[in-house]
Amino acid sequence: MLQVKCPHLLLFVITLFTVSCYSTEHAAERGGQGNENAATSKLETSDFNLNSTNMTHFAYGIAANVVAVLLYGSNFVPVKRIETGDGMFFQWINCAAIWMVSMVGDLMLQSPKFYPFAMLGGVIWATGNITVVPIVKAIGLGLGFLIWGSSSLLMGWASSRFGWFGIAAQDVSKPILNYCGAGLCLLSGLIFFFVKTDVELHPNSESIPLLIDRRTNSGSYGPSSSEFWIDVIRPKTRRFIGCLLAFVSGLMYGSSFAPILYIKSHSLCHDSRFHGASIYDLDYVHAQCSGIFIASTVYFAIYCAAMNNRPRVYSRVILPGLLSGLMWALATYCWFLANNYLSAVVTYPIVTAGYGLVAALWGSLVFKEIRGLANCFIFVLASCAVLTGSLLTAISKL
């Protein structure tokens, strides 16, 4: 029961954050309409209130970032020990759960205007999500998260900081600290690449798919019935392919939020079709999640057709897949909320480096993917780089 109640509690906390954000913004707008001939003491009081509001926003943003980091870094833990086959059925269940959570969030936000262009980000994300299972099987949970987190950091941070894809460039008060923080977070991902992992390809769980009929001549299931291409290639080749897929997947994850940022950047342009669009990030979560679910459904339908309507469907992956999607959706709400308080150029390095560290801790401490003194030393070194880089990036906004 604890696993069921905890996500609902987090969703309730997110709702409180949303109400607080709206009330704080409205209070700031009312506070800014003062009399120009006000006394000096009132101006000093207004400056004090402004500083207090900034610190409150900073605290809310950091709190939302922490929750996002923990949930993102843990959302694949429920299926780590469960056979997922080629991962296509898992990713469809995962995306269905994401979409259901977004529907609840959309109702709580009183159904803001739906922009179909924001669905493009969901399609990009779902395309990268197809490779998650092969990545985890090839190089492990921790290393996979860290590599795609690093490439995602590079794409997401650079597009926000320098204004790629038609997005308005975001400034920070201490750009040198921001560059140093992002650089350290990226460096940590490169250091993590040298950590050797011990991955268990065939966990002790249900290994016979539910909806596929592959029997030997004797009428029983053969030992390779649960294997697919990543299981049968050589370890060195498997590691190289896993790292390459993680890098490409991270680039897709990093660019998946670009359509939302584009809409927000053009909301004040009178000649743009997005004129008057909301600048509140949470208003676009449902649209993006709808794109995720539609794209994953199309990919799963194509997969079923390619398999002659005999897909690999593993029954034990259903509930863990739903829980994984629930955790991801709640983490996204927290991250989008943090963007309103700290801006994407600050939150992106923190979240992408942070959830990689959390996943690495799961992989090393719980699943024993990282062993040996040298590996542990490299892991600690990269962890210090992550923490330092995240701290520098956070304070660059102050």
Q: Write down the pLDDT at residue 264.
A: 87
Q: Write down the pLDDT at residue 216.
A: 40
Mean pLDDT of 250-271: 87
Could you give the number of structural domains in the chain? 1
Q: How many helices (H) and strands (E) would you count in the chain?
A: 14, 0
Alpha-carbon gap, residue 19 to 127, rounded angstroms: 33
Mean pLDDT of 201-226: 45
Domain contains 191: yes
Highest mean pLDDT among 29-33, 48-52, 109-113, 153-157: 109-113
More confident residue, 15 or 148: 148
Alpha-carbon gap, residue 34 to 257, rounded angstroms: 37
The range of the structural domain enclosing residue 278 comes to 78-202+229-395
Q: Write down the pLDDT at residue 194.
A: 77
Residue where the block lists tokens 């092969």: 134
Domain contains 50: no
Q: Write down the pLDDT at residue 299.
A: 95
Mean pLDDT of 65-94: 87
Domain contains 84: yes
DSSP state, residue 29: H
More confident residue, 299 or 132: 299
More confident residue, 331 or 170: 331
Alpha-carbon gap, residue 155 to 163, rounded angstroms: 11
pLDDT digits (tens, 9 = 90+) for 151-168: 887 787 778 778 788 787
Q: Write down the pLDDT at residue 118.
A: 93
Pick the range with the lowest mean pLDDT from 210-224, 254-268, 304-318. 210-224
Find the angle CA(232)-CA(233)-CA(237) to the nearest 5 degrees. Answer: 160
Domain contains 3: no
Domain contains 136: yes
| pTM of the predicted protein model | 0.75
Alpha-carbon gap, residue 113 to 110, rounded angstroms: 10
More confident residue, 285 or 382: 285
DSSP string, 174-219: -HHHHHHHHHHHHHHHHHHTT------SS-SS--S-SS---B-TTS
- The chain-wide mean pLDDT, for the chain, equals 76
Domain contains 275: yes
Domain contains 215: no
Is the per-residue pLDDT at 2 higher than 80? Answer: no
Mean pLDDT of 323-350: 85
